[in-house]
Chains A and B, each alone.
Chain A
């Protein structure tokens, strides 16, 4: 899936993903999209992706990238076409966004609640990412409709489980990096000074 196509998608492109995977954005849909729209968008995106894969020269890196894109599309269909799953996903996501704001407010206000909220948030974000960015993604790969459209098989799953674990962790890390420091005092970095430090460390470091 090319970035350009993502950007030209309708309104959801304006919405911020904020690291909490947004399957509506992945399919280029609004959160009010009907299951029929979900299927249509999925088929269109998957067709584009498969044709892009067919034309690309596959390196190890590109193969992993395409596999991840395919897995995300499968998960988007699997989660959004099922009203129950879709509602619980969207509710959990909204609750998480709200919890992050609450924690930020408590942190900025120096409230004693901040640490409790931070712990709650940390536990929820981990289980959210584990469920919606790993567990259900792998489950989607076994779904008949997804298998038909993407040709997903056991070999894909084996490779994807490692990729998804790393992807989940890197998303967690991305989120963590924009959050307030909670185990350290706040600090900002002068990267010019850091580059000089790297230079001097490289001269001094032992072999």
Chain B
């Protein structure tokens, strides 16, 4: 078989201004992926690459006119063009070997990523600089100082950055930034059906409820344990801030939650009536309640989500969506069988300090 000839290396001129602009944009965006891409063998910034900035495939790497007018972008552009950085970039783009990225620019990018709240990108960049753990510790230590000073808002922000910079060393095949996965964590949190009321996370005593909430919302038991040293008052204030940080639309959810509590109460009343009047079995209860209420009990789960009841879904589908849309919400719900169907219902101590902190407290029903 005739051997194929390697295609002749093609060179295309690259506008250095475009290259510098692409680097400045990656820094401005706090985007370590694009920054690395610019050094790859196929990078449009390389003369020996087949790719070009002028194609639709890669023109996203260049800044638009609005960004060009941004003083921060101009600041980064100047930094890229500083002789030491620029010479190094050009030398690496011309060399036929894995590139060494300019550390000073990577650090600039990492800090910018934190500023923009792009913690995954920041942790990748800090990790490459080998200071991720130290930076994480610095953010958490400063957050603790702020909490001790009574500045809860900044303290929460520090904890969010600290946990945002977490890394998963057991990720395969390479360690990667740890990302929050509330929809899956919600299923784990409610993995076991509560046999007793006390088994429900929302029915835990305030201290335990808060600890579980911090572990869930911060995604790290170790970081959550740091909060044990603070007074209950501080932790409740911290929890309130954290709830709004994880779900900026929490107020809308809180209103729905209160309505869902009323619906659940009504359902319970109906169940008690039907159980009393019937033969005491649960079979067909959903249908009976449906007929009685003109409503399916699964409407409660849909209400929590703010969805149209539509076609009823499984409990875990509601829970997963709830975890995704409003992570703190899963700390106040529980699974419940109604007849043969399982639904997600609000379940928490209505007047507990935790519910008060979250703004979903309600007076207890008269017995």
Give the interface of A toward B (CB within 8 A).
60, 115, 162, 165-166, 169-170, 173, 176-177, 181-187, 189, 191, 194-195, 197-199, 201-207
Is B170 a contact partner of A173 (Cβ separation < 8 A)? no
Whether A184 touches B142, Cβ cut-off 8 Å, given contacts A202-B154, A206-B117, is no
Could you tell me the distance between the alpha carbons of A202 and B160 in the complex, rounded to whole angstroms?
10
Check if B60 is an interface residue, CB within 8 A of chain A: no
**Which 4 pairs from chain A and chain B are nearest by CB?**
A169-B169, A187-B103, A184-B103, A206-B117
- A207-B157 in contact (CB<8A): yes
CB distance from A35 to the nearest CB of B (A): 34
* Cβ contacts under 8 Å, A195 to chain B: 138, 142
Q: Is the CB of A185 within 8 A of B101?
A: yes
User: CA separation between A10 and B88, bound complex, in Å?
Assistant: 50
Contact B98 A194 (CB under 8 A): no
> For residues 224 through 247 of chain B, which have their beta carbon under 8 Å from a beta carbon of chain A?
244-245
Stretch at the interface among B10-18, B124-132, B253-261, B356-364: B124-132
Which of A186, A194, A198 is in CB contact (< 8 Å) with B103? A186
Which one, B106-114, B263-271, B296-304, B306-314, is touching chain A? B106-114
Whether the pair B106, A184 counts as a contact (CB closer than 8 A) is yes
Measured CB to CB, the closest approach of chain B to A173, in angstroms, equals 7
Q: Which residue of A lies closest to B92 (CB)?
A: A185
B194 within 8 A of A: no
Report how far A206 CA is from B38 CA in the complex, Å.
Answer: 28
The answer to whether the Cβ of B139 comes within 8 Å of any Cβ in the partner chain is: yes
- Give 28 CB contacts A-B under 8 Å: A60-B221, A115-B97, A115-B98, A166-B169, A166-B170, A169-B170, A169-B175, A173-B175, A181-B100, A183-B98, A183-B100, A183-B101, A184-B106, A187-B104, A187-B107, A187-B129, A194-B135, A195-B138, A197-B111, A199-B142, A201-B111, A202-B142, A202-B157, A205-B114, A205-B117, A205-B157, A205-B161, A207-B157
Question: Could you tell me if A194 and B138 are in contact, using CB atoms closer than 8 angstroms?
Answer: yes
Which residue of the partner chain, among A60, A183, A203, contacts B128 with CB atoms under 8 Å? A183
Interface residues of B in 316-341 (CB under 8 A from A): none
A201 engages B170 (CB within 8 Å): no
Known contacts A166-B170, A198-B139, A199-B142; decide if A184 and B100 are in contact (CB<8 Å): yes
B198 to chain A, nearest CB (A): 22
* Bound Cα distance A76, B169 (Å): 24
Contacts of A206 in B (CB 8 A): 116-117
B35, chain A: closest CB distance, angstroms? 11
Q: How far, in whole Å, are A76 and B180 apart by their CA atoms in the complex? A: 38
Q: Return chain A residues, CB-CB under 8 Å to B115.
A: 201, 204-205
Contacts of B169 in A (CB 8 A): 165-166, 169-170, 173
In chain B, positions 78-108 with a C-beta closer than 8 Å to chain A are: 88, 97-104, 106-107
With both chains docked as a complex, state the minimum distance between the C-beta of B221 and any C-beta of chain A, in angstroms: 8
Please state if B106 and A201 are interface contacts (CB–CB under 8 Å).
no
Answer yes or no: B158 CB below 8 A from chain A CBs: yes
Q: In the complex, what distance in Å separates the CA atom of A64 from the CA atom of B170?
A: 16
**Bound: A42/B138 CA distance, A:** 40
Given the complex, which residues of B lie within 8 Å of A207, measured CB to CB? Answer: 156-157, 160, 244-245, 248
Interface residue? B143 (CB, 8 A): yes
Name the B residues within 8 Å of A191 (CB-CB).
Answer: 134
Q: List 7 extra interface pairs beyond A185-B101, A197-B111, CB under 8 A.
A: A170-B169, A184-B128, A194-B131, A194-B135, A198-B142, A202-B143, A202-B154
Chain B, residue nearest A169 (CB): B169
Please judge, given known A-B contacts A169-B175, A201-B161, whether A185 and B103 are in contact too, CB under 8 Å. Answer: yes
Please give the distance in Å from A178's CB to the nearest CB on chain B.
Answer: 9
A55 to chain B, nearest CB (A): 23
Q: How far is the CA of A162 from the CA of B106 in the complex (A)?
A: 32
- CA gap between A207 and B116 in the complex, in Å: 10
Q: Which residues of B contact A194 (CB under 8 A)?
A: 131, 135, 138
CB-CB < 8 A to B98: which residues of A? 115, 183
| In the bound complex, CA of A186 to CA of B130 (Å) | 11
Chain B residues lying within 8 Å of A170, measured Cβ to Cβ, are 169
For A199, give the chain B residue with the smallest CB separation: B142
Nearest Cβ in chain A — how far from B90, in angstroms?
14
Q: Give the complex CA separation of A182 and B101 in angstroms.
A: 9
How many Å lie between the Cα of A201 and that of B165 in the bound state? 14
Nearest B residue to A201 by beta-carbon distance? B114
A204 to B112, CA, bound (A): 10
Complex interface: chain A residues within 8 A of B134 (CB)? 191
Nearest CB of chain B from residue A135's CB, rounded to whole Å: 15
Nearest opposing residue in chain A for B143, CB measure? A202
Query: How far, in Å, is A203 (CB) from chain B's closest CB?
Result: 7
B-side contacts of A176, CB under 8 Å: 130
A residues in contact with B158, CB < 8 Å = 202
A107 → B minimal CB distance (Å): 11
Map CB proximity to A onto B30-64 as digits: 1 under 8 Å, 0 otherwise: 00000000000000000000000000000000000
Q: Contact between B170 and A181 (Cβ–Cβ < 8 Å)?
A: no
* Nearest CB in chain B to that of A187: its residue: B103
Complex interface: chain B residues within 8 A of A169 (CB) = 169-170, 175
Q: How far is the CA of A198 from the CA of B162 in the complex (A)?
A: 11
A60–B100 CA distance with the chains assembled, in angstroms: 42
